[in-house]
Chains A and B, each alone.
Chain A
Amino acid sequence: MIDFEIPTPIKRQVQFITMLGEQVMRPVARYYDEHETERPWDYINLIWPTIRERGGRSFSIEDGKEKTDKDGKPRPRIGYLMLAHVVEALSWGDAGLYLCTPGGGLGGAAVDATGTPEQKERFLKRFGEGEPKWAAMAMTEPHCGSDTAAIRTTARLSEDGKEWILNGEKIFVTGGLMAAKESRGFVVVWATVDPSAGRAGIKPFVVEAGTPGMTVTKLEHKHGIRVSDTAAIVFNDCRIPYDNILGSPEVVKSDTESKGFKGAMKTFDATRPLVAASALGIARAALEFTASYLKERGVKVRYGVAPHLQTAVERDLINMEMQHRAGWLLVLKAVTKMDAGEENALDASMAKVKAGQVATYVTQKAVELLGPEGYSCKLLVEKWMRDARINDIYEGTGQINRLIVARRLLGYTSRELR
């Protein structure tokens, strides 16, 4: 049944995060934008107990048990729907700080998607205890980002077969510093066990923070989301235990179809709608701020008036709002399908394409509509514009996601449509 009612627990959660955004994130957002090498410990320490309580995850999606309502009917799962709302609301507060949130993050998602039950237990337990920790995911290399199958980082077995030895360079690892060095976290590193095997040879490995041979060599200075560390990590004869290869160790010997690489793609199906949600959180911040700023100055949006009678600013505001809404509904559909256990790769990429574009457009327009103030660092709008821009780039660029959408719509393989 078609229904747009937001479940009550989600509404409550969004209310809570909105308060957090207003009272904790917004007040320090400018400071951390200007002090990009400082870590936001105030925010981290404040949020960590909440995350830890939930075992590093907001909602247990795969705890196995069917939930039922009071009449004993199965209650629909809302884990990803909740997650999308959480991510959207945190990004509305501040997208840079959201990315600094301790917990499993992208690395945790990869463990979730590709690890054995034993590995999930071993690697993810830490997010439910002790000090704040992070996990990051390292796929991109200097010479390749979109073309993930071209990675060159290698993993070879030690003579005694007890260890993997990693060599190579990863760049643009979100939270890489926190995961590899500043906490007892880990980095999921994608490396090839057989460079001649292409995609089939690429596997995910967990490298614990502080492992000798793993060095953070550089922190990028970025356009936006400056408080989130983006690290280059070099692996130089970095030795890790044999069973830190994600998935059953047998995949290496038997699996030519590569569960590993498919795992990476599956991770993206899950995380792309969340990137889209983050993008739209920023867009909503800019949209709401602009609308109320202009309203205070006498600009009212008359939704009912004929298009040819609207003022230019009215038209812009309506455009921004409708674009934002279109993006958000695509996100809701993508996560709802995920919750229902349905295949959602098409929807995930559609949502990501749209949201990446919308966030860029809405925030850029907001700067313009606010005049000289919009361009000034006195307001946060110019920062939101810079923060938003990443969303059309990472987790698959707008172009790559359009390709995914087009291939699925047209029924072409990656060889037929490139």
Chain B
Amino acid sequence: MISFTPSEEQQLIIDTVRRYAVDRMRPAAYEADEKRTIPQDIIARGWDLGLLPSAIPEQYGGFGEAHQALTGVLAAEELGYGDLSMALYLMTPNLFAIPILHYGTEEQKQKWLPRLVEGGFAPYTAALVEPRWSFDPHALHTVAEREGNVYEITGHKAMAPLAAEAQAFLVYAREGDTTQAFIIERGTEGLTVLERESFMGIRALPTYELRLDDVHVPASCRLGGEQGIDIDHLMNYSRVALAALAVGVARGAFEYARDYAKQREAFGKPIAQNQAIAFMLAEMAIEVEAARLMTYEAAWHLDKGHNATQQAALAKAYADEMALMVTDRAVQILGGHGYIREHPVERWLRNGRGFSTFLGLAMV
């Protein structure tokens, strides 16, 4: 039966994360972006929300039942509403945990999942993106070759969050004509974390390029053992996560512009009373709502165990475009003030433009 009402439990998650977003993330977001660093207590508080542990079953140290993409999506929207850099920072361990949860061998789950969820926030990460125009998750240039019981991995990665501190990496590489993932521990020979990257947006999130020169790992580090992974299915958890974050960012921009437009006067009345402004706001709200519903639908298919690649891809593509449009309009509605960094809308535009290049940067 079709319903758009969150369950009581879901509503509780939404409310809790929203409170954290408004009280903790928002007030610190400007400075985090300018100084390119996130205060540790914000991350610690965010970790206390227990989002990842609640997605991990008890037998692996968490307190969750079944992993639900839909729950993750509801939380991700609120985190995105708070601040995108902080959201991506907090969700970085997911990049390591969710794939292991879905595809890991029993041994891999036993080994890694408790480390991820039993203590405080622990930096584990993944490396998918490559610093090349032709980057394609189905045809990676990072290559893994098996010799006996050992894999030799060589390549160049980019946009790996928290790589400088990460205790272990999930590195995606091409093996034959499939994409597989490999667990590589910090300090493994041949793995070099390069300088911190700089992008137009998500400036508070430390991301890095990685070089892998003949990195040798035992075959047991291949995610899923002999079975391996289905990259498309796995990426669906990323697509819906990014779509949800985009919805959160855009909703923030819409609300800010709406409130501003009702209070700012020009020519003797609130600017919102001009159709030029009111129609923009109406369109923004329509697009945010539509993108949210597409994201929910894709996450629902995932949780039902359907092949959700089509829905997830549509949701992400739609949300990418929506986030740019909505944040750009928000800047316009604020006029000259929208161009000034003291107002968050210009930051949201810089972040919003990034979604089309963010692949594998978040997972729920």
Contact = CB atoms under 8 A, between A and B. Distances in A.
Interface of A: 140, 143-147, 150, 171-172, 220-224, 293-294, 297, 360, 364, 367-368, 370-378, 382-383, 385-386, 389-390, 392-394, 397-399, 402-403, 418
A171 B342 CA distance: 14
A286 to B, nearest CB: 13
Contacts, number: 111
Interface stretch (B42-50, B82-90, B324-332): B324-332
B233 interface: no
Nearest to B331: A389
B332 A223 contact: no
Contacts of A376: 197-200
B335 interface: yes
Contacts of B134: 297
Contact of A221 (B131, B338, B340): B340
A297 B133 contact: yes
Interface residues of B, number: 40
B338 A393 contact: yes
Given A377-B198, A399-B276, A368 B336 contact: no
A375 B332 contact: no
B24 to A, nearest CB: 23
Contact of A397 (B265, B335, B354): B335
B339 A390 contact: yes
26 contacts: A143-B265, A144-B266, A146-B267, A146-B335, A147-B266, A172-B336, A221-B340, A222-B339, A222-B340, A222-B346, A223-B331, A372-B129, A372-B131, A372-B132, A372-B158, A372-B357, A373-B133, A376-B197, A377-B198, A377-B200, A382-B199, A382-B200, A389-B331, A393-B331, A397-B332, A403-B276
Interface string B138-169: 00000000000000000000110000000000
Interface of B: 34, 129-135, 158-159, 197-201, 265-268, 274, 276-277, 324, 328, 331-332, 335-336, 338-342, 346, 349-350, 353-354, 356-357
A375 B357 contact: yes
Nearest to B352: A364
A143 B336 CA distance: 11
Contacts of A418: 267, 274
A368 B356 contact: yes
Given A146-B266, A147-B267, A386-B200, 13 more contacts: A145-B336, A147-B266, A222-B341, A364-B328, A367-B353, A375-B357, A376-B198, A377-B199, A393-B332, A393-B338, A394-B336, A397-B335, A399-B274
Contacts of A399: 274, 276-277, 332
Contacts of B335: 145-146, 393, 397
Contacts of A371: 132-133, 135, 357
Contacts of A140: 336
Identify the 9 closest CB pairs spanning chains A and B, nearest first. Answer: A382-B200, A223-B346, A377-B198, A147-B266, A221-B341, A399-B276, A375-B357, A368-B356, A371-B133
Nearest to A143: B265
Nearest to A298: B134
A397 to B, nearest CB: 6
B341 A386 contact: no
A219 B224 CA distance: 56
Nearest to B129: A372
B199 A375 contact: yes
Contacts of B129: 372
B276 A392 contact: no
Contacts of A403: 276
Kindly name the residue among B198, B199, B339 whose own CB sees the greatest number of chain A CB atoms within 10 A: B339
B340 to A, nearest CB: 5
Contact of B354 (A375, A389, A394): A375
Contact of B324 (A224, A364, A370, A398): A364
A380 B335 CA distance: 25
Nearest to A224: B339
Contacts of B276: 399, 402-403
Contacts of B133: 293-294, 297, 370-373
A222 B336 CA distance: 10
A303 B350 CA distance: 32
